[in-house]
Chains A and B, each alone.
Chain A
Amino acid sequence: SQQGEEDPQALSIQEGENATMNCSYKTSINNLQWYRQNSGRGLVHLILIRSNEREKHSGRLRVTLDTSKKSSSLLITASRAADTASYFCATEETSGSRLTFGEGTQLTVNP
């Protein structure tokens, strides 16, 4: 079963704009990770935030985590057409080492 719920399911923006995707989860976690998937391909790890962290940056990516609300957001700044992909959040629960994925946000960046 999917733990995460992502919002929005689809997002279409213009190149140069910022894109924000949200993720909610249900259980206690060790960390939350964001992955990107181009159509028909495997997943690429983008960024990981641990449960004791509140914000993390990597290049044009900014992730926040609110464990009290069991939610996270991924911000992509100054988006590019090449950022067009599906983005998934995944949680690693404290009970085990598996990742549980949300259903993803399909991001389209129009040139």
Chain B
Amino acid sequence: DTGVSQDPRHKITKRGQNVTFRCDPISEHNRLYWYRQTLGQGPEFLTYFQNEAQLEKSRLLSDRFSAERPKGSFSTLEIQRTEQGDSAMYLCASSSLGTGRYYGYTFGSGTRLTVV
């Protein structure tokens, strides 16, 4: 297993279009997280899943954002009707229940979204 994979690495889209990102976590990790990071800032929590259940969502996750994790494996994050303010790096991380508390989370390389 080579770690957490995110696809695509970069996405340029026109305002108003829909975009979807994918995250493949480490296979034995049952927790998956999405974060958003804007330039010069730390990552901000968006949502997390334990297996296929979405357990927590940030207020940052407006109704234009939706995340899924079917079958508790990979996850997708969709942004509908993109706005310029959505331009950011979208980071995915995974951990095992219990071990994330003691060994840290494993992050992917992120998807950089630019809305023009």
A interface list, Cβ under 8 A from B: 2, 4, 30-31, 33, 35, 40-45, 48, 50, 88, 90, 92, 96-104
Please tell me if the beta carbons of B101 and A42 are within 8 angstroms of each other in the complex.
Answer: no
Q: Using C-beta atoms within 8 Å of the partner chain, give the interface range for chain B.
A: 20 to 34
**Nearest Cβ on chain A to B86's Cβ, whole angstroms:** 18
From known contacts A30-B101, A97-B101, A98-B33, infer whether A42 and B42 are also in contact, taking CB-CB under 8 Å: no
Please tell me if the beta carbons of B102 and A42 are within 8 angstroms of each other in the complex.
Answer: no
Assembled-state Cα–Cα distance A33/B106 (Å): 12
Please tell me if the beta carbons of A103 and B42 are within 8 angstroms of each other in the complex.
Answer: yes
From known contacts A42-B109, A45-B106, A92-B101, infer whether A99 and B41 are also in contact, taking CB-CB under 8 Å: no
* In the complex, chain A residues whose CB is within 8 Å of the CB of B35: 101
**Nearest Cβ on chain A to B55's Cβ, whole angstroms:** 8
A41's closest neighbor in chain B, by CB? B109
The binding surface of chain A is classed by DSSP as strand
B interface list, Cβ under 8 A from A: 4, 6, 31, 33, 35, 40-45, 48, 56, 89, 91, 93, 100-110, 112
Which of A42, A100, A103 touches B108 (beta carbons < 8 Å)? A42
From known contacts A31-B102, A42-B91, infer whether A98 and B107 are also in contact, taking CB-CB under 8 Å: no
Which of A31, A35, A103 touches B41 (beta carbons < 8 Å)? A103
From known contacts A41-B110, A42-B91, A97-B31, infer whether A33 and B104 are also in contact, taking CB-CB under 8 Å: yes
B112's closest neighbor in chain A, by CB? A40
Point out which of A4, A98, A104 has the most chain B C-beta atoms below 10 A from its C-beta: A98
